[in-house]
Amino acid sequence: MNLWTISKQKVYFLAGFSVILMLISFPGNSQKSNIQKKSSESMLCVGDYWTEAEGKAFLEKERLTYTTAEAWKKRANEIRLQILKGAGLEKFPNKCPLNPIFGEKRIYDGYQVQNVAFESLPGVYVTGSLYTPLNVKGKIPGILNTHGHWSDPKDYGRYRSDAQKRFAVMARMGAMVFAYDMVGYGQLAEYGWIHKHPQALKMQLWNSIRSVDFLLSMGVDPKRIAITGASGGGTQTFLLTAVDDRIAVSVPVVMVSAHFFGGCICESGMPIHKRADFQTNNVEIAACAAPRPLLLVSDGDDWTKNNPEVEYPHLKYIYGLLGKPELVANVHLPNDKHGYDYNKREAVYPFLAKYLGLDVTKAINSDGTLNESTIVIEDQKALYSFNKKHPFPANGVKRNDDVVWK
Name 327's Cβ contacts closer than 8 Å, sequence gap at least 6: 290, 291, 292, 293, 294, 319
Q: What pLDDT score does 38 carry? A: 43
Same domain, 115 and 36: no
Q: What pLDDT score does 25 carry? A: 36
Same domain, 32 and 159: no
Report the SS3 class of residue 48: coil
Checking if the pLDDT of 367 tops 70, the result is yes
Question: What's the CATH number where 365 sits?
Answer: 3.40.50.1820
Instruction: Give me the amino acid identity at 277.
Output: D
Same domain, 8 and 137: no
- What gap in Å lies between CA 142 and CA 132, rounded to an integer? 9
Same domain, 186 and 309: yes
Same domain, 24 and 111: no
- What gap in Å lies between CA 136 and CA 183, rounded to an integer? 32
For residue 74, being part of any structural domain is answered with no
Average pLDDT, the chain: 91
CA atoms in the 13 A half-sphere facing the CB of 170: 32
For residue 52, being part of any structural domain is answered with no
For residue 274, being part of any structural domain is answered with yes
Same domain, 130 and 235: yes
Same domain, 201 and 120: yes
Same domain, 179 and 271: yes
CB 183 within 8 A of CB 193: yes
Q: What pLDDT score does 215 carry? A: 98
- Is cis: bond before 27, omega within 30 of 0? no
CB 235 within 8 A of CB 251: no
pTM: 0.90
- The region, left, alpha or beta by phi > 0 then psi within -120 to 50, assigned to residue 297 is beta
For residue 80, being part of any structural domain is answered with no
Name 37's Cβ contacts closer than 8 Å, sequence gap at least 6: 49
Lowest mean pLDDT among 3-17, 162-176, 192-206: 3-17
CA atoms in the 13 A half-sphere facing the CB of 176: 23
Kind and range of the H or E run holding 133: strand 124-133
pLDDT digits (tens, 9 = 90+) for 7-49: 333 333 333 433 333 333 323 333 334 434 443 348 999 999 9
Task: Tell me how many domains the chain contains.
Answer: 2
Q: In which domain, by residue range, is 187 found?
A: 101-383
Q: What pLDDT score does 135 carry? A: 87
| Widest pairwise Cα distance in the chain | 87
pLDDT digits (tens, 9 = 90+) for 240-298: 999 999 999 999 999 999 999 999 999 999 999 999 999 999 999 999 999 999 999 99
For residue 376, being part of any structural domain is answered with yes
For residue 121, being part of any structural domain is answered with yes
Same domain, 328 and 227: yes
Burial class (CB in 10 A: 0-12, 13-18, 19+), 57: middle
For residue 48, being part of any structural domain is answered with no
For residue 78, being part of any structural domain is answered with no
Same domain, 168 and 278: yes
Same domain, 206 and 135: yes
DSSP string, 226-240: EEEEETHHHHHHHHH
CB 247 within 8 A of CB 227: yes
Q: What pLDDT score does 346 carry? A: 98
Report the SS3 class of residue 297: strand
CB 391 within 8 A of CB 187: no
Q: What pLDDT score does 136 carry? A: 85
